[in-house]
Structure formats: structure tokens, C-alpha cells
Chains A and B, each alone.
Chain A
Amino acid sequence: MKSFTPLTRKNDNQPVRYLVVDDSVFARKNLGRMIESFGGEVAGEAGDGCTAITEYARVKPDIVLMDVTMPQMEGIEAVERIVRQNPDARIVMVSSVGYQDNILAALQKGARHFVQKPVKPDVLYEIIRYVLNDDTANVPAAPVEVRS
């Protein structure tokens, strides 16, 4: 996988911590590999919206990557609940269904961005940089290499 300049938190220069929410184990692993290539750390995972809410409270991630269609509680409802309790939560929707109504609903509930599957690492990297904005600093270190 392509290497990226690591994204780190500005306040303590530590890796950005992610919560990855998707009912597909394969999709979570795939996003996890991308996160590694961005120099980040998967702080938690969830396979549905309910677990995402409890995991968010437990790990307090810097960013959440959230699927839309999931069992028990869908991603958009989980976004609403997380953002209600944590207005500063940074959530990026990651879904194969990217029609306008879906995107608008997610943004209205508090998601910061939307990326359609299949996810291209370059696109996700730029979106995360944008969403984290002032809270991250690119450390001019050697690119991270992920062994596959």
C-alpha cells in the first residue's frame, strides 16, 4: 500500500486515533490498513451503531469512520446520538451507497464528510486531513511503510 506522510495530533504529536465502524470485518480490516499507512492507530472497532456509541465513549477517538447500512442501528442514527453527546466528534461516513439524500442526512446529523466505497487511500487521507484541520500536524518524517 502507498505510504503517506504520517498525520499526528498537534497537541501531543501522537498518532491520530480512529474508531472504525462497519458490519463487514473485511471492510474494517481494509480501513485499518489504510489508517496504518496514514501513521494512525485503530483505537476501537464496532460492527453496528449501538456498539459504536459505547465504543466512542470508551476510547474517545480523534476520528470515526462510520458505515451507513448496518444491523441493529444504522450509521446515520449512531452519528446523531454520538454528536448529541459529543458535539466535537469528527465523523466521516464511509458507504457504498452515496446518493444525495443519504449524504445530506448524514451531514445534517453531524457527520463532517462522506466518502464512497471502494475507498481510495489518497482520497480518504485528504478527507481526514481536512476534517481534522487544526488539530493535526504533518510531521516531516519518513513515510510509513506498511507490509502487506
Chain B
Amino acid sequence: MKMQLIQPFISAADCVLATALEGPAKIGDLTMDQEDYRPRGYAARISIHGDIEGRIVVDMTSETALRVASALSGQQVEAADETVRETVHELANMMIGNAVTLLNDHGYQFKVLPPEQHTSDEPVQSKSDTEELAIFFDTSCGRIFLSVRMRYNLRERANRVPVPALS
């Protein structure tokens, strides 16, 4: 997976977390993996299809999710309920949406599907021909994990390359 593909996701996640949680986010080390991703607690998976295809997982422990939900909703969230799930999904939407904006500005076109919830009981299945890139962000609410598994869809992109007019 090329760095130019992953960089917009890191930049967007960093920016969204800093803005939404009103504090700086410290970016952790990048790691690569071939195994299916196993969530730590509350995870939202977002799939994209088009010139680039794959999936992104935004994941955090239940404790961090409660703190994030409390911070974003402006009120103390006590129990792991629908509010927490909604918050994780919306945070994932914002992170991915901002990354998609950056990629689209570079000419890539694709569709983003709504988030799906995953829990720690089930690994996130992905195509085996792409490797996973994982990174984490340390925020005031705790550690938030981002797992990206994507590849270029050359056929899709080639279909859209305009044919120059004959002179």
C-alpha cells in the first residue's frame, strides 16, 4: 500500500480528532499486518469502492468510547449504549469523509458506504491480497486506532481515462 494512499487518512484523522476532541492528538507508530483486524471494543468499519477500494476501521476500547461520547455530546455518558455506538460511527464518518475529500481533490473518485459496527468478538474480514496498515492516536480521551486496508482499482480508473480527440 503506497504512502500517498494512506497519508490523507492519517492527516484527516489527526485533524478531525484535534478539532472534535478540542485537544492535540499524538500520532503513534505505523505497523503492517496481514491478519484480519480484531477490534478492541467499539469499532466502525467503512468500506470504499471506486478508483481505490478497501476498508477503514476506527476502533477504541469501551472506556475510551465512553470518554469520547461524553466529550462530543457535552454530557457525561455513563453506559455503553446507542449514544456510544452513534458517536463512534459519527467520528469515523468525519475522519473518513475528510480523507475522502483530500483524495478526491487529487483526482480519485469512489463511493463511501455507511459505517458498520464491529465488536471485539468478531475479526474484521478483508480481502487477503492487501496488507493492513495500522496506526493509533493518543488523545485526551484515550487511544484511538485506525486500520486501513486498501488498494488501487486500476481497472476502474482506466475506464474513466479520457481518450484524446484525433486532430
Interface residues of A (CB under 8 A from B): 1, 23-27, 29-30, 33, 69, 71, 95-101, 116-118, 120, 148
Question: Does B94 sit within 8 A of A, measured CB to CB?
Answer: yes
Residues of B within 8 A of A71 (CB): 114
Task: Point out the residue from A23, A30, A120 that lies within 8 Å of B73, measured CB to CB.
Answer: A30
Judge whether B19 and A118 touch: CB under 8 Å. Answer: yes
Question: How far, in Å, is B126 (CB) from chain A's closest CB?
Answer: 23
- When C-beta atoms are compared, the residue in chain A nearest to B102 turns out to be A99
Partner of A99 from B20, B95, B101, B114 at Cβ < 8 Å: B101
The answer for the CA separation of A26 and B105 in the assembled complex, in Å, is 28
Q: Are A24 and B100 in contact (CB under 8 A)?
A: no
- The contact of A26 among B90, B98, B100, by CB within 8 Å, is B90
Give me the interface of B with A, judged by CB distance under 8 Å. Answer: 16, 19-20, 72-75, 82-83, 86-87, 89-90, 93-98, 100-101, 104-105, 112, 114
Closest Cβ neighbor of B115 among chain A residues:
A24
Q: Specify which chain A residues have a CB less than 8 angstroms from the CB of B104 in the assembled complex.
A: 99-101
Pick from A1, A23, A98, A120: contact of B97, CB below 8 A. A98
In terms of DSSP, what is the predominant structure of the interface of chain A? Answer: loop
Chain A contacts for B93, CB-based, 8 A: 24, 96, 117
A125, B29: Cα distance in complex, Å: 38
Do residues B73 and A99 form an inter-chain contact, with CB atoms below 8 A? no
Chain A residues, CB < 8 A from B19:
118, 120
Distance from A3 Cβ to chain B, minimum over Cβ atoms (Å) = 14
Check if A100 sits within 8 Å of B105, measured CB to CB. yes
Residues of A within 8 Å of B86, CB to CB, are 24-26
Q: Given A29-B73, A116-B97, A118-B20, 6 other A-B contacts at CB below 8 A?
A: A33-B74, A69-B112, A96-B96, A98-B98, A116-B101, A148-B74
